[in-house]
Structure 1
Amino acid sequence: MREYVDLEKIPFKIRAMASAIKEAGGRAFIVGGAVRDMLLGLEPADWDIGTDLEPREILMVFPGASTCGIEFGRVLVGDVDVVSFRAERDYEDKRHPGKVIYGVPLEKDLERRDFTVNAMALDPFSGELFDPFGGREDIRARVLRTVGDPVTRFQEDPLRILRAIRLKVTLGLNLDPEVSMAIVNTAGLLQHVSGERIFRELKQILLSDSVCAGLTDLESYGIGPVILPEVFSARVGDVARAVSFSGKDLATRLTLLLRRPVPGGSTEGSFSVVDKIGTRFNLPAKLTQDIRWLLEHCDPEVPLNPSSSCARGIRGSRPARDNPQDGESGHFADPAYVVRRIIYHYGERQLERLIDVKWSLWRGFGKDGIPGGVLFLVSGLWRAKAEETGDFHRVALSGDDIMEILGVKSGPVVGEAISYLEEEILKDPRKNKRDELVGMLLEWWSNRR
């Protein structure tokens, strides 16, 4: 029985590209995950067009296309992959085929794909669905099966092992028993896959609604110890729960995943793990920097790590009950000041992450109430917002201004002056006015000399 899909679900751009291929004498079909997502009622994130035209012929239709991947039958037209129907043989490097054969029919092209739910094609002109391997029925049954023998498919490209878990978690599918067994038996092959490819799949698991189930699956199927031995060397139940309580932010969830108790309370062990994983997965430097900072300050019971450079000079880096205010530095125990200081140096997004990390850790490990560090930072954020009587994000005097006012040349003293003014406006943003800062600067300079 033939099945059809509503053509209105297909973007005009995709239909226009298919028409261009047809006018050039080729056949065009929507293939891959876009077909699957439409049948699941989801908005496709990516669109692929399959055609019987060979790559050089595709380039004649779309002369400005990117040729990256052309040796494997793939041409990138804007953000759309246009792929030639092909058969593949001899996967020598656990990813790329040693031999690519063009001129094969549509069904033969679909036969080389990983899972049945990804091995369907849609005619963009009639809406007819081509489904030679039962992908539509598997979607209805919420089952993930491979096209052909799962062990063979996983040996061709071991990344499919991790992709199976990602599809299970993100689409709410159940693994076919043969697929489950094959994953357990072939998980070790993931050691041959590049860190960047692994992280692309892992990232989607971490940012999914079912991240707790995903991490549990990585552990139970033996995948975790292969791709993240630093994390999965121990049980991840509490960690998975903590991650699931957090918002869908990559830095936050990686921090919770990588956070491990270290003897003596040191964070050095966690830092070394971040560095290893950052190198292995080729993570952006800013991401690893943010994670290191969050790990340093993740203790839920204190706002900041008291021994850190960030907390240096802040008497209120612990809740007020632990560090009573004194007359000389009472403002340092002010939560609003601490919050402004964090925002000034690290950004409001990082502050939000820090609160999320602390709160998620507390809940993930089954503790009741609200920890002191969270209360301190949340109250400080509320007060800082309520008391916004001046801008504290940038000092109203520049380095050039300071040199002119003090009659000095560029050097360490300018940096000292800026640091002094920064601290003063963080204590009271109302002071961040040029005239007032000039007076404060001159007084500071007089006392310093």
Structure 2
Amino acid sequence: MPVSDSTSVAQKATLTADQRRAAAVLLRANTSPTVAELGELFAAAGHELALVGGPVRDVFLRGTPPDLDLTTDAVPERVLEITKAWADKTWTVGIEFGTIGLRKRNEIFEITTYRSEAYDRNSRKPEVKYGTSLVADLERRDFTINAMAARLPSFELVDPFGGLAALKEKVLRTPGRPEDSFSDDPLRILRAARFAARLGFTVAADVQAAMGEMASRLSIVSAERITDELSKLMLTATPEAGIDLLVRTGVAQTVLPELPALRMEVDEHHRHKDVYTHSLIVLRQAIDLEPRYGLGPDLVLRLAALLHDIGKPATRSLLPGGKVAFHHHEVVGAKIARKRLTALRFPNEVIDNVSRLIELHLRFHGYGDGDWNDSAVRRYVRDAGPLLTRLHALTRADCTTRNARKAARLAATYDALEARIEVLREQEELDKIRPDLDGGEIMRILGLKPGPLVGKAWNYLLELRLEHGELGTERATAELLAWAEREGIAPPAPER
């Protein structure tokens, strides 16, 4: 059943006197005394100051807020005058947006002048204008749960748009028309998905509709800001809920078009109605495996899990009997992921690691019933490199069969592979696999100077090391000389 829209916000905004008193007591009890001290400082100077947004919301959700964001009618220059003698340190990095930062003892505050900001139709940056009203400042905020304030030093709750009611209902609404909110700052479209995923809230029907209608406005937002918001979404407790919201509303078509493209692709095992559903399940299972592998919230693993099958639409082919195949989709998918993540300007390391995991995610399925020799196990470890732990998690997460017996067999087989890796690691220091001869020794034996031939010889010896294990210096030298003869490289004459 769809959640009601934002038309009844005004009705939900009315609080009784008892509710206001209780709210003030709760806010005071769960906020640092320094906040009230700062409020008294501003009041003595003839200005308003209020704790605002996330800190107020978090008090009602979980107690003590991690951040201390405040708003005031004083312009930034006046804020600096008022706090100059009180603060231990101030900084003005955000002054062009009306924000002053300051530190008192070990506490950090950000104080922003009442403002209204909106994007020009073709601009990537907001135009900031100062205001004089707390309620007007709250009205320009993204969602009603973030449009609450506590006046200082009294901690009187200001909730003109029903934020407290929305918290109780677990629903995201906008203070005004969602179309106006998303037009002012299109990034709020993605923020809606993040808050829904982070808090487990439902998004009001009119907000969902506006997300889809206004998605094209995201084109004026820089790729860096979009990527930052997507990263925050992916690191929430249930990113799959936020991702699904973006797909259902059509927003993903603008920022991650490869995801909605998966909905029409039936996977080759016919276990799921589509590859898209499978991908969300793999993402969920990968997150559940993070503690097992000591990963914590891991952006690389989560992106790889979400995108691991995006090569399937491009590689889909029909087989006899109505079955579907996606040959080499891992290779194609790695290239597609690299292109998309690059366009979004993710860090190079994230791009490289996610692409590599996608490329490797099917490698285990060649393991069969454990019939890999030691050479194949070494190559598996070598190819994964520092991504091995994440590859373990991704490979296990990619098993979504509903056949309990088959799932148990796959898990047991992977348990056996991990056990073999650990045995070989203890025997051979797998993480440090190198040829038995280093570059200097290769140059000395073959009489070479630094250049491509040395690298070619090194790689040849590495392949032998992976295939046969440790060779020892004598055998490695013999193998190197035999290789050089085949390559037409004459070794230096022995010294007399």
Q: Normalized against structure 2, the TM-score is what?
A: 0.70
Q: Deviations over 1:129-148 (max 9, x none)?
A: 33233212221222222112
1:54 aligns with 2:75: yes
2:343 counterpart residue number: 280
Task: Give the counterpart of 2:395 among 325, 337, 358.
Answer: 358
CA shift for structure 1 position 113: 1.2
Compared CA separation, residues 71 and 356, structure 1 to 2 (3 A): same
Task: Give the counterpart of 1:69 among 94, 97, 110.
Answer: 94
- Pairwise CA RMSD of aligned residues? 3.8
Q: Deviations over 1:89-143 (max 9, x none)?
A: 65315664435125x1333322221211111223565544332332122212222
2:299 counterpart residue number: 250
Does the 8 A contact of 1:359 with 1:374 survive in 2?
yes
Q: Deviations over 1:307-331 (max 9, x none)?
A: xxxxxxxxxxx32669x67xxxx53
Which residue identity lines up with residue 265 of structure 1 in the other structure? Answer: H
Which residue identity lines up with residue 279 of structure 2 in the other structure? Answer: V
1:178 aligns with 2:211: no
Distance (Å, rounded) in 2 between the aligned partners of 1:426 and 1:134: 65
SS in 2 for 1:358: helix
Q: Deviations over 1:72-101 (max 9, x none)?
A: 212344795623322326531566443512
Which residue identity lines up with residue 52 of structure 1 in the other structure? Answer: D
1:319 counterpart residue number: 367
1:31 aligns with 2:94: no
CA shift for structure 1 position 41: 0.4
Does the 8 A contact of 1:95 with 1:157 survive in 2?
no
Which residue identity lines up with residue 179 of structure 1 in the other structure? Answer: V
1:143 counterpart residue number: 171
Distance (Å, rounded) in 1 between the aligned partners of 2:154 and 2:27: 9
Q: Normalized against structure 1, the TM-score is what?
A: 0.77
Distance (Å, rounded) in 1 between the aligned partners of 2:473 and 2:33: 60
Percent identity over the alignment? 29
What does residue range 283-432 of structure 1 map to in structure 2 within 5 Å? 283-299=346-362, 302-303=363-364, 318-319=366-367, 331-333=374-376, 335=377, 337-342=378-383, 346-347=385-386, 350-363=387-400, 366=402, 368=404, 369-370=406-407, 378-386=415-423, 388-389=426-427, 391-394=429-432, 399=439, 409-412=449-452, 414-415=454-455, 419=459
Task: Give the counterpart of 1:240 among 280, 305, 315.
Answer: 280
Which residue identity lines up with residue 290 of structure 1 in the other structure? Answer: N
What does residue range 260-271 of structure 1 map to in structure 2 within 5 Å? 260=310, 261=312, 262-263=315-316, 265-267=327-329, 268-271=331-334
Compared CA separation, residues 393 and 107, structure 1 to 2 (3 A): same
Compared CA separation, residues 42 and 243, structure 1 to 2 (3 A): farther
Q: Deviations over 1:414-437 (max 9, x none)?
A: 5456556656776788x6xxxx95
1:314 counterpart residue number: none
Compared CA separation, residues 281 and 19, structure 1 to 2 (3 A): farther
Compared CA separation, residues 331 and 269, structure 1 to 2 (3 A): closer
What does residue range 92-241 of structure 1 map to in structure 2 within 5 Å? 92-93=120-121, 96-102=125-131, 104-122=132-150, 125-235=153-263, 236-241=276-281
CA shift for structure 1 position 227: 1.6
2:12 counterpart residue number: none
5+ residue gaps in structure 2? 1-16, 264-275, 288-296, 317-325, 485-496
1:312 counterpart residue number: none
Does the 8 A contact of 1:18 with 1:49 survive in 2?
no
Q: Deviations over 1:275-304 (max 9, x none)?
A: 3312321011111111221221222xx427
Distance (Å, rounded) in 2 between the aligned partners of 1:64 and 1:253: 39
Compared CA separation, residues 126 and 101, structure 1 to 2 (3 A): closer
Distance (Å, rounded) in 2 between the aligned partners of 1:272 and 1:107: 49
Distance (Å, rounded) in 2 between the aligned partners of 1:448 and 1:37: 67
Compared CA separation, residues 273 and 420, structure 1 to 2 (3 A): closer
Distance (Å, rounded) in 1 between the aligned partners of 2:338 and 2:448: 41
2:110 counterpart residue number: 82
Distance (Å, rounded) in 2 between the aligned partners of 1:340 and 1:90: 51
Compared CA separation, residues 411 and 441, structure 1 to 2 (3 A): farther
Distance (Å, rounded) in 2 between the aligned partners of 1:23 and 1:401: 78
Which residue identity lines up with residue 355 of structure 1 in the other structure? Answer: H
Distance (Å, rounded) in 1 between the aligned partners of 2:337 and 2:39: 45
CA shift for structure 1 position 177: 3.3
Does the 8 A contact of 1:406 with 1:442 survive in 2?
no
CA shift for structure 1 position 64: 6.2
SS in 1 for 2:258: helix
Which residue identity lines up with residue 36 of structure 1 in the other structure? Answer: R
Higher mean alpha-carbon deviation, 181-190 vs 367-376, is at: 367-376
5+ residue gaps in structure 1? 305-317
CA shift for structure 1 position 245: 1.6
Distance (Å, rounded) in 1 between the aligned partners of 2:44 and 2:92: 22
